[in-house]
Structure 1
Amino acid sequence: MRKILVVDDDPTVSEVVTGYLERAGFAVARAAGGPEALRSAAAQRPDLVVLDLMLPGMDGLEVCRALRERGPVPVIMLTARGDEEDRVLGLEVGADDYVTKPFSPRELVLRVESVLRRSTAPVPAAPSGIAGIALDPAARRATRDGRDLSLTQREFDLLSHFLRHPGRALGREALLREVWGWEFGDLSTVTVHVRRLRAKIEDDPADPRLIRTVWGVGYRFDAGGTDA
């Protein structure tokens, strides 16, 4: 049984979300704050964390960073509706997805199932050695010139997709569909993950040579990594 850690200081939200997740077949642990969440995650590592951004004291961003330092775990962030900056910040620190409040608990369950399905699905083989990048799909581990890239699960999927389609201009909508499995969604999700991935694989993220922006379209992975 997959274990979900729900972190929210609102007992009503926490109780409702827990009820829906348990009826969907998940084992659920609950925490009302950041320190409690980190203790729970350390005692028994969850398969996924549903994390409210607005927590007292230690906010969701700090909790997400601390979880990421301990290893890869999918995180779905709960944010206030309309706060685009907060959603982007959540993605920047490594959240895999977000749901805006108020939300449908059934929608959240579907998001949880989707993120877990993508995080455990076999990753199609990608060429190794391109720009010194090697992928180990079984371990979901990536290196460049022997250096561990410490990618989140979604960053790993995105890099694998780029490596399988070198030289091809890939639109943000197509990436959202093929990497995230979403038919629609916020395209800033793709933009933020590309920025995070560049920070980890580019020699100079401010002047990327591998993941090029194709204006009006999306991105292109340049296997040569040289000036166009």
Structure 2
Amino acid sequence: MSHIFVVDDDPNILELISGYLRKDGFRVTSFPDGHELVNRIRSEGPDCLILDIMMPGINGLSLLTTIRTFTEMPIIMISARGEEEDRIIGLELGCNDFLRKPFHPRELVGRVKGMLRLVQMYKHRDDAATSLPEKYLTVGNMRISDELRHVEVDGTEISFTSREYDLLIFLVNHMERPFSREQLIQQVWKYDFMGEVRVVDDLVKRLRKKLGDAGAIFHIDTLWGFGYKGTVRT
């Protein structure tokens, strides 16, 4: 039985979401705020998190940033605000999906099931590869362990968000091949994305800064009017 954490400061929404999830056979733990959330995630290891953005005290985006430092579990963010920027920031910080209130609880349950199916698919793929020795990929002065999601430039580790790393490794694995913004969304986000393609530009900008600050000779080139490609240039 999959264990779902639900966080929302509105008791009616919290009860509604939890009730629908339980009817579908999920084990649910609900929280009215985020004060105990991080420690409970560390100790209990839930299978999926549904996280509201606007809450008193610690808001959902701050919690998301902390949670993504130690777990890759699926996270679905929900918000009553209609700000496009909230959704873009949430996706950049590592949430897997985003729903605006009001929404039908059945849609949320369906998205949870879809996320858990993806987790199982990738788990089977990773389990099949556990017998292989760890491999490192060297690109210019950058060394990458995809198994550990670890990146070094000239021996110094660079810290990336989950989405930044996913974009980096995709471009590294397809060096010199150009991709449109739409193709990158399809490959890196790995689910139907209904937002603005400029989220790719924002992510590339952040990734370029980190690579540039570290002195990496791997670059992300802009192909004007089309998209981006990865290349090594001294």
Structure 1 length-normalised TM: 0.78
Count of equivalent residues: 223
Residues in 1 aligned to 2:212 and 2:113: alpha-carbon distance in whole angstroms: 32
Say whether 1:203 aligns with 2:216.
no
Task: Quote the sequence identity (%).
Answer: 39
Q: Which 5+ residue runs of structure 1 have no aligned equivalent? A: none
Residues in 2 aligned to 1:5 and 1:196: alpha-carbon distance in whole angstroms: 30
Q: What are the within-5 Å matches in structure 2 for residues 111-130 of structure 1?
A: 111-118=111-118, 121=122, 122=125, 128-130=137-139
Residues in 2 aligned to 1:197 and 1:47: alpha-carbon distance in whole angstroms: 28
Q: Which 5+ residue runs of structure 2 have no aligned equivalent? A: 130-134
Q: What are the within-5 Å matches in structure 2 for residues 1-228 of structure 1?
A: 1-80=1-80, 82-118=82-118, 121=122, 122=125, 128-186=137-195, 187-203=197-213, 210-222=219-231, 224-226=232-234
* Cα displacement string for residues 88-128 of structure 1 (whole angstroms, at most 9, x for unaligned residues): 3323433333222222323323433444454561479x981
- Contact 1:20/1:106 (8 A) holds in 2: yes
- Contact 2:93/2:161 (8 A) holds in 1: no
**Matched residue SS, 2:88:** helix
Residues in 2 aligned to 1:26 and 1:135: alpha-carbon distance in whole angstroms: 37
Deviation at 1:166, TM superposition (A): 1.0
* Cα displacement string for residues 120-162 of structure 1 (whole angstroms, at most 9, x for unaligned residues): 61479x9811133444344444444444434444333322221
Deviation at 1:209, TM superposition (A): 5.9
Q: Which has the larger radius of gyration?
A: 2
**Alignment RMSD (CA, Å):** 3.2
Deviation at 1:81, TM superposition (A): 5.0
Residues in 1 aligned to 2:6 and 2:19: alpha-carbon distance in whole angstroms: 11
* Structure 2 letter corresponding to 1:2: S
